[in-house]
A and B are shown apart, each in its own frame.
Chain A
């Protein structure tokens, strides 16, 4: 007996959820929390400084989303400068897109550092074409050109060898390498959880139906 045929609603729902989960996997994202101790920065050099979030997707396949900005007592100054397909604000969410004709996007915002700075960054992980590396980069620039140069503090790269993350300090600026921590992707987990719950319901219903159709046991 084809149980699923007898319970088409369950099959369709289960298949749909699994498909959604699978779709989410195709457009998979990796999310990280980045946290930087800026206490030495605020005391060592004359500000202000600039936050520079760059995304370079030469393949045109990936993009990055930034959110949950925490300034640790610092404050953003003025309005942001953007390059390419960069939208949003530090008050909410920033999206750094890319296209083949305009592969580079950047969100650049002056700020006065506090004791720390943190944010969440989520990047899509579509495999770029061979020989190319799509990359998210976080740099902290001194506005004054007299101050030490900005260097990459965070790089999230997606190339031939898959996704890699790296953090760097900037000894000239007295900055230790920031911490970068992977965050589970809530939407993906939610979908999988839904799928498993649905599977459990279906299994329970099928088993119940089997029990109801089974002949009574002879005593």
Chain B
């Protein structure tokens, strides 16, 4: 029943009760009766109105047997990155699944398990066409895990999982893909034909298609293809009869996407199948920008909540309201787990709190995606019990959250009261604890409406000593999981200089001083966007940058430099305290320079070097093609095969070399995926460097800075290993002229980074006090900008207001920064031109009246450029 309808019916019932009260009062004196009637008229009217409205609200659909089945599956858990891993069950880091694990999952309160299985793993797991025979041993293993799950009392969803990868080519390789898909289900369906009804089968995980490369397929074709796959799956399974005649079957939308156009297409397929035992499935990882932390989406904003509601409401309206249950087969945040830093922990908790509440309201079942990041499959413990508490609490009631779970006390600044808006979610505030101590209302904190104010009195004792997290406050409400507030004592983060080169990750030394990185902006000096994701200055956490709090550095990822242009780009590290550390990076191209070379292969390997190759056919004396001389190395790789050349005797000091250079040819076919890593004194654990797919019949020169291979400056390089990075045999390719050289790679560029400073250090800024202009109701402040130097400063001058406190806005701003970082800072123009030597000019700032507290900001002046 919808909440609106519940409200209307409750309100109508309330009105009727009052009306009945009037009838029973008939024996009262006439005046009292008249008074009572007058008093009841509004209720009567309201009752009629509400009853009328009640008639307009459609009755909730009767719950179908399949809806009850799916609700009994709540909550669910994914045995992720296990039987779907390739090439083996343990290849992606999880241990072999045990019966004890399955039983423990059941004991933890889960009612269903999704078992993702990749049937074609590029190994002998799946035989060749046309039969595509599944390896009996692997099928037995899958069946064993299914059996354990059913024995544990779990509902079980078995699927075809990462096979969706090879199915992407269906638009151009239709028959082969469909035949293979059908062959797999034609073996699975009879195998599980007589299994209990608690086993359900899911046709395919996240089906996606492309034409060539990443070419997009029109929606109509996408929907037609997934409909064809779902229908074929349906007919194969139902055709085996027995338990499969009525077995619940799970059908996904295109890419398990909840876009209405894909839901409608899936609904049409289900209608055409006209079967009572179908379940619709979508996956949900949140608004993409939030889920990966890009474009500045760092918090559970209205936009993020709207996206949750869109998914829930649209799947409900399309399916549940029409008698078809829905399972969110995978629930999570992309690349996020309890130990991840990409999404601030409190924001992640809020996200799941909101989602579980929305799903519960609409009777939609979810299954957590756990690739090993949630449940420790060795210790059988949740890696984050509090996170699990939020999931489980969401099955019954809402929990209270807040605008933040971070409280910052800034060093060298007075401790102020801190106001936090509570998301009570239907609960009432109960108490506040500092550790085990219950704090005093009115003394240590106040609660007015939904605003919790932590008094400076309760916080000031933590503004001393070492920086970092100092205390953990707990907000207790009348129901749900208590909300935690992390009190941190912080100072301004300070970055340091770095000198490096492109081609690999670059570490910027960073004194975090207790603060936490929220996001990072990067733009070229002229304000143009830079890769990756030129459309936003806020880069993707983890893909373009990541903080390392333990080693005091922020890593600027290789992706930031892959297509970087020579010149300067600006960076703004934005922290959760609101502070911003500006950084500037100079990238310089190199001019050609010679170097001393040390050959590793030049028609032959040097004396003392050995050939340690494995899983590949190769010839170190191949005669055609060759790049130079008379010989090259030909390689015909098996799955994951490698060519390894090692110096087994003479010791060579390699510390002076800067670059590995070689030539490679893709042979008749091309397209091979080759990577390599260096070896130092028998140690193989160095950075693996992947090459782009090789080009057919073309010699390509490859230059790789040794810094990109993690061996720059190493005196003991003793080998190199080339590897075919595919789990299948590949066509022949060729390598020639492998050398170490002291020359620096011209494909790399030099990188110099340092803190950004005011471009005009001779400019001095003096802020005046604030005055309330009663006529404009603005706080007015005079700021004096002085040129303390002996030379003029070129105009125009702009005063930029960075980090303005959230309680106000700059009312007379000329605009917000776009070229300059951080973006979004308001600015005003100072005067109309430049500033003569030893002269000053005043500028007036007008701020809106702050909602509470003082107005704070950092001011800087830029000069001589375009609009900031």
Contacts and interface: CB of A to CB of B under 8 A. Distances in A.
Interface of A: 52, 54, 56, 58-61, 83, 100-104, 106, 108, 129-135, 137, 139, 141, 145, 149-150, 152, 155, 157, 159-161
A178 B777 CA distance: 25
B854 A58 contact: yes
Q: Which one of B413, B768, B771 has the greatest number of beta carbons of chain A within 10 Å? A: B771
A155 B858 contact: no
B788 to A, nearest CB: 13
12 contacts: A56-B779, A61-B414, A100-B416, A106-B772, A129-B413, A132-B856, A133-B769, A135-B770, A155-B771, A159-B767, A159-B769, A161-B766
B581 interface: no
Contacts of A150: 773-775
B183 interface: no
Contacts of A102: 852-853
Nearest to A83: B772
A148 to B, nearest CB: 10
A141 B774 contact: yes
A103 B771 contact: no
A142 to B, nearest CB: 9
Interface in B441-490: 453, 456
B766 A101 contact: no
B264 interface: no
Interface string B756-783: 0000000000111111111100010000
B770 A104 contact: yes
Contacts of B321: none
Contacts of A104: 770, 772, 779
Interface string B828-862: 00000000000000000000000011111010000
Contacts of A83: 772
Contacts of A139: 771, 774
A62 B772 CA distance: 18
Nearest to A161: B766
B855 A52 contact: no
A52 B771 CA distance: 10
Contacts of B853: 100-103
Nearest to B417: A101
A1 to B, nearest CB: 45
Contact of B856 (A56, A58, A134, A155): A58
B274 interface: no
A160 B765 CA distance: 11
B412 interface: yes
A131 B783 CA distance: 11
A58 B766 contact: no
Nearest to B413: A129
B767 A132 contact: yes
Nearest to B780: A152
A56 B413 contact: no
Contacts of B854: 58, 100, 103, 132
Given A101-B853, A106-B772, A60 B858 contact: no
Contact of B768 (A103, A129, A155): A155
A56 B853 CA distance: 11
Interface in B369-406: none
A31 B153 CA distance: 83
Interface string B403-437: 00000000011101100000000000000000000
Contacts of A137: 769, 771
Nearest to B410: A129
Contacts of A130: 412
A11 B856 CA distance: 48
Interface residues of B, number: 24
Nearest to A130: B412
A86 to B, nearest CB: 12
Contacts of B767: 131-133, 159
Nearest to A139: B771
B771 A135 contact: yes
A133 B772 contact: no
Contacts of A60: 414, 416
Q: Which one of A59, A101, A150 has the greatest number of beta carbons of chain B within 10 Å? A: A101
A181 to B, nearest CB: 21
A147 B416 CA distance: 40
B819 to A, nearest CB: 25
A95 B596 CA distance: 81
B414 A129 contact: yes
A131 B769 CA distance: 10
Nearest to A145: B775
Nearest to A142: B775
Contacts of A52: 774
A54 B417 contact: no
A101 B858 CA distance: 20
B437 to A, nearest CB: 23
Nearest to A156: B769
B413 to A, nearest CB: 6
B774 A56 contact: no
A127 to B, nearest CB: 12
Contacts of A133: 767-769
Contact of A159 (B417, B766, B772): B766
Given A104-B772, A150-B774, 17 more contacts: A56-B771, A56-B779, A58-B770, A59-B414, A100-B414, A100-B854, A101-B416, A101-B417, A101-B853, A103-B854, A104-B779, A106-B772, A129-B413, A141-B775, A145-B775, A150-B775, A157-B769
B593 to A, nearest CB: 48
B412 A129 contact: yes
A155 B768 CA distance: 10
Contact of A135 (B414, B453, B768): B768
A150 B780 CA distance: 13
Contact of A54 (B414, B416, B766, B771): B771
Contacts of B412: 129-130
A108 B772 CA distance: 12
A100 B456 contact: yes
A112 to B, nearest CB: 19
Contacts of B858: 131
Contacts of B456: 100
B780 to A, nearest CB: 9
A161 B765 CA distance: 12
Contacts of A106: 772
Nearest to B857: A131
A195 B770 CA distance: 40
Contacts of B414: 59-61, 100, 129
Given A129-B412, A129-B414, A101 B768 contact: no
Contacts of A101: 416-417, 453, 852-853
B852 A56 contact: no
In order of increasing CB-CB distance, the 3 nearest A-B pairs are: A135-B769, A58-B854, A100-B416
Contacts of A159: 766-769
A160 B783 CA distance: 13
Contacts of B769: 56, 133-135, 137, 155, 157, 159
Nearest to B774: A141
A139 to B, nearest CB: 7
Contacts of B852: 101-102
Q: Which one of B412, B413, B770, B858 has the greatest number of beta carbons of chain A within 10 Å? A: B770
A71 B412 CA distance: 44
Contacts of B453: 101
A10 to B, nearest CB: 39
A132 B854 CA distance: 10
A183 B377 CA distance: 78
Contacts of A129: 412-414
B716 to A, nearest CB: 51
Nearest to A138: B771
A30 to B, nearest CB: 15
B770 A56 contact: yes
B766 A160 contact: yes
A53 to B, nearest CB: 11
A157 to B, nearest CB: 5
Contacts of A161: 766
A45 B770 CA distance: 28
